[in-house]
Structure 1
Amino acid sequence: MKLVYVFDAYCGWSHGFSATLREVVARHPDVPVEVVSGGLFTGSRRVPIREFGYVQGANAQIAELTGAEFGAGYERLIADGSFVMDSEAAARGVAALREAAPERAAELATAVQEAFYVDGLSLSDPATYRKIAADTGLDAEAVAAAFQSAEAPHTAADDFHRSAGLGVTGFPTLLAVDGDRAVPLARGRASADEIARRIAALS
């Protein structure tokens, strides 16, 4: 069995789930974790953040329910409403980090969300991935090069296809996958204790 975490780096509820994900991974160190980017803001949804009028209210609710931090850097980044959340670029960045350290994919996914939601760094900027890589002991230039490579858009598309193939319709979703069987452990929000009970029930 492995865990498959399907999220979007620009999804506030995924950011809210980060602490739970880290705890689940810590409790189950022998269970491999695959991280898949879902592609929330692509195509016609790749527009200035002001067009999503619900963002601030949703973030307040996420912070209240999960304790997730929305930092001053993030607030500055989105203040004028012109910032564009591009999930394809974010998926390329997640993939570049994942390629550098596959066994740390869950940790790196939460680091990407912290870079945006706490520090206010654009997930379309290669400098963001250089910083995350350097901060987590990875080769910063190799990660930035992978983010900007000709293959990167295909890798992002593969992630979006994988998400759809798993039947995921909302983020975050945590699945237990064993062969062709995929069992949801969490959709949107769940505690580490709830997830642990669901994992135990599978064995």
Structure 2
Amino acid sequence: MKLVYVFDAYCGWSHGFTATLREVTSRHPDLPVEVVSGGLFTGSRRVPIREFGYVQGANAKIAELTGAAFGQAYEDVIADGSFVMDSEAAARGVAAVRQVAPDRAAELAGALQHAFYVDGLSLSEAATYRTVAQAAGLDADAVVAAFEAPDAQTEADEDFRRAARLGVTGFPTLLAVDGDSVTPLAHGHATADQVDERLAAH
């Protein structure tokens, strides 16, 4: 059995789920975790952030429910309003860190969300992946090269298809996958204890 974490790096609720995921993975070190990018802001949804009027209200609720932090640099990005969240670029970045450090994919997914939601860094920029890689002790050149390689786009597209095949319609979603059996453990928000209860019942 393995855990499959379907998230989007530009999803505030996924950012809020980071602490739960960290706790779940620390409680179950024997369970491999596959990280899949869901593709929240693609196609016609790639528009300036000001067009999503609900962002700040949603973030306040996320912070209240999960304790997740939103940094001043990120608040400045929201206030400016021109930033475009591009989930395709973010999925290429997730694919890049996953390629360089596959066994740390869940941890690095959280680090990418921290880069955006706390440090206000764009997940479309190679420099962001260099910063995250260096902080994580990874080969930064390898991560940047993987992000910029054509294969990254192929992997991003495959992630979006995999999320759809798993029937995931919202992020974050945590699943227990055992062969053909797929059991939902969390959708949107859950505590580590709630995930454990569902895992035990699985």
**TM-score, normalization by structure 2:** 0.99
Match of 1:71 in 2: 71
CA distance in 2: counterparts of 1:78 and 1:201, whole angstroms: 41
Q: Write the deviation string for residues 148-176 of structure 1: whole angstroms up to 9, x where unpaired.
A: 11111111000000000000000000000
Q: Which runs of 5+ in 2 are unaligned?
A: none
**Percent sequence identity over matched residues?**
75
- SS of structure 1 residue aligned to 2:81: coil
Aligned equivalents of 1:78, 1:170: Cα separation in 2: 22
Q: Does 1:29 align with 2:29?
A: yes
Aligned to 2:134: 134
SS of alignment partner, residue 80 of structure 2: coil
Report Cα offsets for 1:177-203 as digits up to 9, x if no partner. 00011100000011100111111112x
**Which amino acid in the other structure matches residue 195 of structure 2?**
I
Which residue of structure 1 aligns with residue 9 of structure 2? 9
Question: Which residue in the other structure is 2:162 paired with?
Answer: 162
Distance 2:33 2:150 in 1: 26
Aligned to 1:62: 62
Letter in 1 for 2:189: R
- Residue equivalent to 2:88: 88
In structure 1, distance between residues paired with 2:67 and 2:172: 16
SS in 2 for 1:169: coil
What secondary structure is seen at the aligned counterpart in 1 of 2:18?
helix
Moved over 3 A (4+): none
Return the letter of the residue paired with 1:34: E
The corresponding residue for 1:102 is: 102
- Rounded Cα–Cα distance in structure 1 between residues aligned with 2:145 and 2:108: 17
RMSD of Structure 2 on Structure 1 (CA): 0.6
* Shift, 1:35, TM fit: 0.2
Aligned to 1:43: 43
The number of residue pairs the alignment matches comes to 202
Equivalent in the alignment of 1:187: 187
1:150, 1:28 → 2: CA distance? 34
